[in-house]
Each structure stands twice: as C-alpha cells, then as structure tokens.
C-alpha cells in the first residue's frame, strides 16, 4: 500500500472510531493464524505515546497485522524507537510513518513543571523540555514535541533514503482524547 492509500485507510478507520461504528478490523482467529504463518505486512507505522487513553489500533480501527506500533511516554524518538521505524520502513516495506501526539499528555505536563525528575524517566522529560523550549501552553507544547519527533525521524539516513527511493512519507498528527479525532498536522 502506498503512503496516500495508507493515510486514507487511517482516516477512514478513525472516522469509524469517532462515530462508534462497528470496526472492520480483522482480529479473527483466521487472521491471527494467517499472520503467524505468513508474517506481518503492516500498511503504516505509528509512533504514539504510551498513554493508556491512546489505543492506537482502536483509534484507526485496525486489525491484526495492520499497524506497526511504537509506543513511548511522550511519543519521543530515541535510538530504539528510530531503529524500530527503520525496521518498519526497511524490512517490512511500510510506506507511511505517523507521529501521533495527543492532548492531556502526562509527559508534557511533567515537562512543564519546574521540578526534577529522577531515574530513566528524566531522559524522556529532558528530551521533551528541549523540544518545547520556553513554551508554557500544554496544547502548543504537545504540537512542538510531536514536530520534534518528526524531525528526529527525518534525520535518519535510512529513512531519508526510503523517502527518496520508495515514496515513504513521515507525517505528524494529533489525537484528541475527548473526541477520538485524529488531525494530521
């Protein structure tokens, strides 16, 4: 599936989710057996926050094997996340990568607070703080952080080559946890 068709499928799936219509997602025993036997062939890779209110496959009405999902607090991109994206693009043939930020992000809220974070979570919060700079609006900070992740992905030589050679697209999007709507930025 090319990037344009993949984006259209995500938009259509998100409309079903927003309208609480019956999903066409195939999660059947047959589909699970088929993907176990023949492997995965996702049509898109989604980088999202680990927030439990951001159920990526549900948001896009996707079934087993449809999406390659990478989740981290604050949807940040580090070496492991970037490696996963390069794998999706280089080995699985994914033509669309979406960075999905969302409102009400706890990692953004924590980054906006003037206090020290301890442990490995501090690396995440510092990455977000660097991305948002002096911004103090949570809504604007969410978008700045999403665009920072987009830039991190686009710095990968392997991704850049896939964009040039294979028509891969890297898009930024924002998910509203209240309405269920995904807006491409």
pLDDT at 114: 84
pLDDT at 101: 97
Class of domain 3-184: alpha beta
Q: What is the pLDDT of residues 69-97, one digit of tens each?
A: 999 999 999 999 999 999 999 999 999 99
- Does the pLDDT of residue 174 top 90, yes or no? yes
Domain ranges of the chain: 3-184
Q: What is the pLDDT of residues 107-148, one digit of tens each?
A: 999 999 988 989 999 999 999 999 999 999 999 999 999 999
Among candidates 148, 146, 153, which has minimal Cα distance to 172?
146
Give the Cα separation of 23 and 62 in Å (integer): 8
pTM of the predicted protein model = 0.93
Among candidates 100, 110, 115, 117, which has minimal Cα distance to 174?
100
Q: Are strands 182-184 and 169-175 parallel, antiparallel or unpaired?
A: antiparallel
Give the Cα separation of 105 and 19 in Å (integer): 23
């Amino acid at each position: 599936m090319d990037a344009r068709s993949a984006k259209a499928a995500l938009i259509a799936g998100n409309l079903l989710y927003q309208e609480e219509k019956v999903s066409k997602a195939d999660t059947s025993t047959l589909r699970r057996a088929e993907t176990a036997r023949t492997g995965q062939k996702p049509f898109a890779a989604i980088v999202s926050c680990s927030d439990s209110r951001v159920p990526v496959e549900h948001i896009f009405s996707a079934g087993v094997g449809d999406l390659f999902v990478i989740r981290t607090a604050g949807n940040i991109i580090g070496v492991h996340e970037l490696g996963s994206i390069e794998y999706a693009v280089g080995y699985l043939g994914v033509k669309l990568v979406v960075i999905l930020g969302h409102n009400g992000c706890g990692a953004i809220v924590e980054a906006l607070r003037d206090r020290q974070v301890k442990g490995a979570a501090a690396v995440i919060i510092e990455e977000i703080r660097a991305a948002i700079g002096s911004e103090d609006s949570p809504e604007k900070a969410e978008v700045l952080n999403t665009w920072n992740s987009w830039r991190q992905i686009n710095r990968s030589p392997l991704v850049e080559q896939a964009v040039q050679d294979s028509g891969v697209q890297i898009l930024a999007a924002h998910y509203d946890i209240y309405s269920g709507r995904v807006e491409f930025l």
